[in-house]
Structure formats: structure tokens, C-alpha cells
Structure 1
Amino acid sequence: MSVTVREKRLTPAAITALKGERPIVSLTAYTTPIAKLLDPHCDFLLVGDSLGMVLYGLPTTVGVTMEMMIAHGQAVMRGVSHACVIVDMPFGSYQESKEQAFRNAARIMKETGCDGIKLEGGEEMAETIRFLTTRGIPVLGHIGLMPQLVNATGGYRSLGRTDEEADKIRRDARAVSLAGAFAMVVEGTIEPVARELSDGNAAPTIGIGASPACDGQILVVDDMLGVFNDFKPRFVKHFAELAPQISKAVEDYASEVKARSFPGPEHTFQMKKQKI
């Protein structure tokens, strides 16, 4: 009698252990079908608050709610059997206090079954990260460009070009790593600084617009697939060009519907012939 051994999903500790072994592969995911497609190829999937802009058309991530993150976290969890799954904590759900952060992080993990949470912030969030990790909640940090602070920082731009910016990012990385984060997203940071962070901290660095010097990479999946063609950040590579393919498919569908050539007989239910 043969026994089927079910593959265990990667854990946050397993992600940390990949530092120095090989680059870590990650993408965002928001739905069950996409999660199923990404799962065999990624070490971890991030249910990012970027879903506010990608799926809901919000101008920034600030308007994303706990309910949105939990619903999409549940959807992604239904589609994975291999990858570690991390869910973003939305703006306003953790900044007030470490106790608030714990309540909301625990809720996300309970209601989604995910493996950990992500929050933005460096030195100012180190105490919160330590509070969470010592109470059983794995934390993925996020430093450099922080989208939730875009209203305060004046927009999206690369960081680390001045000594002041570079020193702040270094301090943030060290604080997040020492606080117990299993890894940290480094966004929009120039290569020399990103390389320092990767070499000088125990927590793996996951770059997005932070060069190949990082221990791993992450992109928004819709960007990587070329679903959007109106804006392409410098750090994004389109590994597919789905936008024109989707547009052409819809154009063909509309034409066939108007011409009454779709649905055809092969797509239509008919009365069954009576047996005599």
C-alpha cells in the first residue's frame, strides 16, 4: 500500500535559512487562481496592500482595510500547497501601539491561516516587531521607500542618494533585523546601500527596485505579467505582455457576440433526443 506524502509549505524560518544559499523568489498574490499558478515557483507569496491600487483602483495603499486584507489572504491560502504566505497589515492597523499591532496581526493569522504578517517601518517599529515575534507572530519588515507613508514623504522616489537617507536606511535595516524579523523588503533603494544591508544583517533582504544585490526579489504580479501598460516603473520587467492579449481577446469576443457567431452549437444546450 503506497502512502502519498503531502509536501509541507515553506515557513518563515525556512525563508531566513535561504540567505546565502540561493536567491529568494517572491511575488504578490491576491486571488486563488493566481496563487495556484505562482505557488510552485515562489518561496513566499505576499498578499500585499498593493491590492488597493491593483484590484480596487485606489490612488494609494492608505485606503486598504483589514477586511480587504483578510478576504484576499483567505483567497490566496486556498491556492497554495508549497509557498509561505505573508499578509500585509494595512495602514492604521499597527502604528498606534504594539498591543494594537498584536491584536490585528493575531486576527489576520487566525482568520486567514497565513504564516506571518508584513509591516512597514524601521527604527520606530523595532519595539513592535520584537513584541510580535516574541509572541509567536513572524514578521516581514519593510524599509526604504514605504508606500503607506507616501503622503508624508512627498511621493514615490528612489532613496539612499544622500548620506542622511543612506544612514537612516542602514539604521532601519539593523533595527528590523535585530528585532527578529525573518526577512525585510527593501524598496526603492540604490544598489550600494542595498548591498550593505544584505551583507551586514542576518535577516534576508527582499528587493523591489533595490538591485540584484539583495538576497531575493519581489514584484507586484500584475506588473510582472504586463497587465498594466500605462505606467511601468524603472525596476519592473514585463515577463509577459498580457494587456494587449486581454484587449484583443475581448475585442474578438465582442465581435463574435455582435455577429451572433458566439455562442455556436458546440456551446449550446439542446433537448436530448428521445430513445424509441
Structure 2
Amino acid sequence: MSVAKKEYKRITVKSLTEMKQAGEKISMLTAYDYSMAKIVDDANVDVILVGDSASNVIAGHETTLPITLDQMIYHASSVVRGANRALVVVDIPFGSYQSDSKEALRSAIRIMKESGAHGVKMEGGVEIKESVKRILQAGIPVMGHLGLTPQSIYKFGTYTVRAKEDEEAKKLKEDAKFLEKIGCFAIVLEKIPAKLAQEVAASVSIPIIGIGAGGGVDGQVLVVHDLLGMTHEFNPRFLRRYMNLYEEMGNAISQYVDDVKRRDFPNEDESY
């Protein structure tokens, strides 16, 4: 069933709640630089996530853990300059909020002041409640993240589907309701059973954004490099590739190399 969409000049946290209430699905993609942010924003994506996945797809690290707060601020400030419509949310990186709520607030304030972003995202539930509360009390919008939480990969030891067992599923439901209660404006659910994700989305009034969490939630998020096929070794079940840029870009660059070697580039029309 199609849903009449309200036109938004600028997406806000209020806009996302309105979308959920109207039954309009929310689109969310990552971006890490000005040029990509401009493309994503011009395509009317609702939320741009400056994800700590930059640690993987930009810096080449195995996990999201190595990226620093300064690096996240650099990426976020670049994205903000390219986004005129989308809500820009920034991951607070590992080690910048887990152990000390005062440090968490300082990290969030730096992100907001130095990048111009519109909100932050944090992984975890009740265990990070003091950090979340302190940031919210400062007037900074917070998006939660439950299920598979990549910053805790060494605790889990695997990127497998989370919350398949009753006990973990129960905790996830409780954490979602807790994050809603204390004031988070939305929650990302990553790699959990679709039925559970749908139940969570129905149980809270804030938007639930899924990645590998089925279609019964309020919106979807993907890493833009995966969607465009710029990465080619990462093939999770939840990923739909809309292009194969790895191959197309490789072919274009190879053609450029050949043209230079054959002295075909630049030609007379391309010279001054």
C-alpha cells in the first residue's frame, strides 16, 4: 500500500516520528565525505549516518574500534557541509562514552559543536544509561543501537544474528522500551530475527530502523559503499547491491591507464 508522503525541506527528529505515525518508511544511508553526502542528500535519503563503519570502508580496519573521536568529527563535518535536507546522525566511537558519563557528554558536545551534526548514535541499552541520560539532558538528540553492536564484537566473538534465544530477545525488548522512555528519538536494530524486530517496532512510539532486521520495522539503513557495490567481499544476507561500482570503476580506471600508455589521452581537444 502506498502512503502519501509529506514534503520536508529539512528532516528533523520530529519528522521521523511523523513518518512512523503516517506509516511512511524511513530511508537511512551512511556517508563519510562531502561528495557522497551531497549525492545521498540530493537523492532524498531521510537520514545520513556518519557511521563508525568509516573505520572499515574508509580506513581499512577489520573492526569499527580503531576510529577516533577526532576522525569521526572530521568525517561528520564534511558530511554536514554536503547535506541540505537529511538529518545527520554521528556514531560516538568506541571508548568515548562507555565508561564515564561525563566523558560521554564531552564527546557528544564536541561532535555537535565541531561538526554541526543533528544528533548522535550510541550502542547499548541499560548498561549505558548514565551516558545516554547525561547527553539527552544536555539537549542532544540520541539514536540508540541494539542487537548486533559492532563496537562489542570482541565480546560476542562473531557477527552472527543476535537475540535468537529467549533471554537475549527479552533483554532487547526491555532495552528498546527503556531507550524510548528516557528520550531517545529512534533506535537501530541490527541483525536480529525479523519477527522480533517487528514486535519491537510495534511496542514503541519511536522509529525503529533496521539493518538485517526484516521489513516489519519503520525504516532501513545500509552502508552506502555496500549498496553501490564499491565493496565486493562483504556479502551478508541482508545486503541488496544496487550497482557494481567496484567493477565499473575498475574498468574506467583501466581504460584511463590504457589511454595514457597509448598516448591517446590527452588528445588535441583536451589540450590548451
User: Shorter-chain TM-score category?
Assistant: over 0.9
Q: CA deviation at 1:127?
A: 3.0
Normalised to the residue count of structure 1, the TM-score between the two structures is 0.93
CA contact (8 A) 1:141 1:184 kept: yes
Q: 2:34 aligns with which of 32, 35, 49?
A: 32
Q: Map 1:150-229; keep pairs closer than 5 Å.
A: 150-229=153-232
CA contact (8 A) 2:226 2:234 kept: no
1:31 maps to a residue whose letter is D
Q: 1:9 and 2:5 equivalent?
A: no
Paired residue for 1:230? 233
Question: Matched residues in 1 for 2:15 and 2:104: separation?
Answer: 24
CA contact (8 A) 1:188 1:209 kept: yes
Question: Matched residues in 1 for 2:47 and 2:213: separation?
Answer: 18
1:17 maps to a residue whose letter is E
Would the alpha carbon gap of residues 16 and 126 (structure 1) be closer, same or farther in structure 2, given more than 3 Å must change? farther
Q: 2:249 aligns with which of 238, 246, 263?
A: 246
Q: 2:149 aligns with which of 134, 138, 146?
A: 146
Q: CA deviation at 1:32?
A: 0.6
211-220 vs 117-126, which moves further:
117-126
Q: CA deviation at 1:17?
A: 2.4
Paired residue for 2:270? 267
Task: For residues 150-192 of structure 1, give each alpha carbon's deviation from its aligned partner in whole angstroms, at most 9, with x where no partner exists.
Answer: 0111110111211112112112211111111100000001011
Unaligned regions of 5+ residues in structure 2, if any?
Answer: 1-7
Paired residue for 2:110? 107
CA contact (8 A) 1:127 1:179 kept: no
1:11 maps to a residue whose letter is T
Instruction: Give SS of 2:210's match.
Output: strand
Question: Matched residues in 2 for 1:230 and 1:143: separation?
Answer: 25
Question: Matched residues in 2 for 1:233 and 1:61: separation?
Answer: 17
- How many pairs were matched up? 263
Q: CA deviation at 1:8?
A: 4.6
Instruction: Give SS of 1:119's match.
Output: strand
2:168 maps to a residue whose letter is E
Normalised to the residue count of structure 2, the TM-score between the two structures is 0.94
Q: 1:64 aligns with which of 40, 64, 67?
A: 67
Q: CA deviation at 1:24?
A: 0.6
Q: CA deviation at 1:134?
A: 2.1
Task: For residues 63-86 of structure 1, give each alpha carbon's deviation from its aligned partner in whole angstroms, at most 9, with x where no partner exists.
Answer: 010111000101001101101101
Q: CA deviation at 1:268?
A: 1.6
Percentage of pairs with the same residue: 41
1:141 maps to a residue whose letter is G
1:259 maps to a residue whose letter is R
Question: Matched residues in 2 for 1:117 and 1:43: separation?
Answer: 15
CA contact (8 A) 1:20 1:215 kept: no
Q: Which runs of 4+ in 1 moved over 4 A?
A: none
More helix by share: 2
Question: Matched residues in 2 for 1:169 and 1:64: separation?
Answer: 26
CA RMSD of aligned residues (A): 1.2
Unaligned regions of 5+ residues in structure 1, if any?
Answer: 1-6, 270-276
Question: Matched residues in 1 for 2:101 and 2:56: separation?
Answer: 27
